[in-house]
Amino acid sequence: MDAAERDLLAETLRKTMTAASGQALDSALADLGWAELLAEQPDIAVPLAFRLLGETGAQAPLLNDVLLGAAGRPLGGTLPLPYTGGTWIVWERDDSAAGAALDAELPLRSVAAGAPVQLATGRVALGWWLLGTGRAMLALARQHAVDRVQFGRPLASFQAVRHRLAETLVVLDGAEATLVAATDDLGALLAKAAAGQAALTAARNCQQVLGGIGFTAEHDLHRHVRRAMVLDGLLGSARELTREAGALLRAGGSAPRLVHL
């Protein structure tokens, strides 16, 4: 797939995700050939689709497909997924199951522990979703800073606001670099941890920039904040994965060179 084809695919996916979410989006992506794209070009399908889910604020049970495909199983179903704190959930494909405590748009259901899943592929996919969510929050905060006038000056002219936006951009770009470089289990673990931490940093900084309006139901920020918190906990939170990485390095008695990380 050349650059022009990739741009066309990205535009098509963005329009589809802007127009639909949940079960309707799942069906629309199936009609667009999501299963074939995932099977034939996962290196393009996963970063593009999951990043756009974050940027548009849409949701679909695509993580199931990524994990099912990695296990060599037919797509279109569900499977138990480990969640933070030693719990397990299922990401249903039916909107009627929506109503998760933290993010009511997500059809998540608690279940008993299931069989091990291919964590690396799922963590990379979730990392791209978290990255897109972080960039969506940054875009909202940046636009508010440009439009808002405080004490007779644009909010964006205040150094404290600029610092928070700059810090957010730096951590998001750093997380993207780890996702691009993730080629093994440890790389995927570190990339998911970096993306989760970056999204949570974006939520904190962007909430500060937006101030009171960011807490209101009328503003979109709260949807992205809740989404980031849920996705961070799926397949291991940033805090848990950081500890796991430390334990692995201690057990191995050495750390990979920086270029390998």
| Ranges under pLDDT 70 in the chain | 255-261
- pLDDT (0 to 100) of residue 261: 47
- pLDDT (0 to 100) of residue 259: 45
**Under 8 Å between Cβ of 132 and 62:** no
Q: Is 153 helix (H, G, I), strand (E, B) or coil?
A: strand
Question: What Cα–Cα distance (Å) separates residue 57 from each residue in 84, 129, 148, 159?
Answer: 22, 10, 23, 29
Q: For residue 231, give the nearest of 98, 52, 108 by alpha carbon.
A: 108
- pLDDT (0 to 100) of residue 117: 87
Q: Is 181 helix (H, G, I), strand (E, B) or coil?
A: helix
- pLDDT (0 to 100) of residue 257: 62
The DSSP symbol for 154 reads: E
Helix runs in the chain, H state only:
3-19, 22-32, 34-40, 42-56, 62-70, 119-147, 159-181, 185-210, 221-233, 238-252
pLDDT tens string 184-218: 999 999 999 999 999 999 999 999 998 888 778 77
d(CA 217, CA 161): 23
The first and second tokens of residue 176, run together, are: 């993207």
DSSP 230-251: HHHHBTS-HHHHHHHHHHHHHH
Question: Tokens 């592929």 map to which residue?
Answer: 121
Query: Strands, E, within 45-117: which ranges?
Result: 81-83, 87-91, 108-111
Given CA atoms 214, 218, 224, 230 in this order, what sign does their dihedral have? positive
- pLDDT (0 to 100) of residue 180: 95
- pLDDT (0 to 100) of residue 73: 93
Residue type, 141: A
**Under 8 Å between Cβ of 198 and 231:** no
- pLDDT (0 to 100) of residue 226: 94
Answering whether pTM is above 0.75, one says yes
**Under 8 Å between Cβ of 193 and 238:** yes
- Spell out the residues 6+ positions from residue 72 whose beta carbon is closer than 8 angstroms to its own: none
